[in-house]
Structure 1
């Protein structure tokens, strides 16, 4: 990630959540990828869950758009919404075709549903600063471990592509933009409000941990594409 001042609010927020940050960075999903030992069923389950979350992510950024403080932020968020609703969905279509994943499956595990509902509730009920804080937790988290994992690309094409997407300058720039937005918002916040952002950042990371753990739930069957049953 490109560096911002070490005394900025975003760095303080991450420091306040050091334990849970490290728990996500060393989660077995991440370490399995880094060691090139992620089970195929876990990967397929994870991609199915991620695809299901895209619509929720669109709604979260739509709330940010509605609550944004200025036109510069709105322009940036419109571009983000376009990428989510177009390019990312196309990527998942290619991913599902490559891995033989079906489009529909059983009811999602509770942790996956809780992740979507929890993040959406924060966006719906909170203000702009709340939204950029939770999305920073997600994007900073992904950018950090994917940059690390990308140094040893996976032999699995879709996993390699997924990691690369989150290690490319465009994605990292998006995470840095969220950092800058959190830091800009800091000027109008009191200590209690800053502490609230740190709590929300940690809450988002815990939801991410539970979400990634759900990919290892062997009782949830990965849906198969027609012809791959």
Structure 2
């Protein structure tokens, strides 16, 4: 796994020509960033080898998380500095509460999982920690802090989604569609916009605030790893994050 870059954004620019602020966030978040985007669970989705019980665990936790992600987007819509930014975020919120929600319902039915179970499921400890960081950063924090969380979550999925989209699709529709949801042009365009927004907002901040964003992004990356690991193993795996990175 790549080693983390420990310096400031200005240091990163000095050694990496034309460096983007979002690239610096990812570099600061290593090895968590690479562990999340290259996790065995994501590869198993792509090649169809993920056991149904592991995928059900994953879907349940993700389904319980959707409401919190929608709330996060609502906070960011309210705090976005321009109408264009509000429009992009609200458009994704509309997609999240329609097409993606429909995917969950059809997938649970195909997996033989009753509505009474997933509709009353409580978040596990990793999902709670993940949701708490998102909601705290977007609700009580600044626009930039909430955006850093959203960027990590969505960019991670785009990264492995595009990788697996380049391979033959698995036969099970709920695996193939999950890949497609995170590799389609519309999603890629939205994530690229988040990166551009983060690049513009983050690069303009003073170094102390940039450092705060790097720590948030690193913690989000570690929680992404824990989220996949919990689904993969069936055991709650709260991350052991390097205290210097959070």
Q: Does 1:54 align with 2:35?
A: no
For residues 145-168 of structure 1, what are the alpha-carbon distances to aligned partners after superposition, in whole Å with 9 as ceiling and x for unaligned?
111112221122111100111011
Secondary structure of the corresponding residue to residue 19 of structure 2: coil
Structure 1 runs of 4+ with >3 Å offset: 105-108, 216-220
**Unpaired segments of 5 or more residues in structure 1?**
221-229
Q: Does 1:85 align with 2:97?
A: yes
Q: Does 1:186 align with 2:198?
A: no
Q: TM-score, length-normalised on structure 2? A: 0.82
Q: How does 1:77-226 map to 2 (within 5 A)?
A: 77-103=89-115, 104-105=117-118, 106-152=121-167, 153-218=169-234
Distance across 2 between alignment mates of 1:218 and 1:195: 34
Q: How many residues align?
A: 216
For 1:14, the equivalent position in structure 2 comes to: 26
Of 84, 88, 103, the match for 1:76: 88
Distance across 1 between alignment mates of 2:217 and 2:67: 21
Post-superposition shift, 1:175? 0.7
For residues 197-229 of structure 1, what are the alpha-carbon distances to aligned partners after superposition, in whole Å with 9 as ceiling and x for unaligned?
111111111111112222135479xxxxxxxxx
CA contact (8 A) 1:137 1:205 kept: yes
Q: Comparing both chains, which one has the higher relative contact order based on Cα–Cα distances under 8 Å and sequence gaps of 6 or more?
A: 1
Post-superposition shift, 1:186? 2.7
Tell me how large the CA RMSD over aligned residues is: 1.9
Post-superposition shift, 1:193? 1.2
For 2:10, the equivalent position in structure 1 comes to: none
CA contact (8 A) 2:25 2:217 kept: yes
Distance across 1 between alignment mates of 2:178 and 2:225: 18
Secondary structure of the corresponding residue to residue 18 of structure 1: coil
Post-superposition shift, 1:41? 0.5
Distance across 2 between alignment mates of 1:41 and 1:71: 43
**Unpaired segments of 5 or more residues in structure 2?**
1-16, 237-246
Q: TM-score, length-normalised on structure 1? A: 0.87
Post-superposition shift, 1:109? 2.2
CA contact (8 A) 1:186 1:194 kept: yes
- In 2 relative to 1, CA 182–218 (structure 1 residues): closer, same or farther, beyond 3 Å? closer
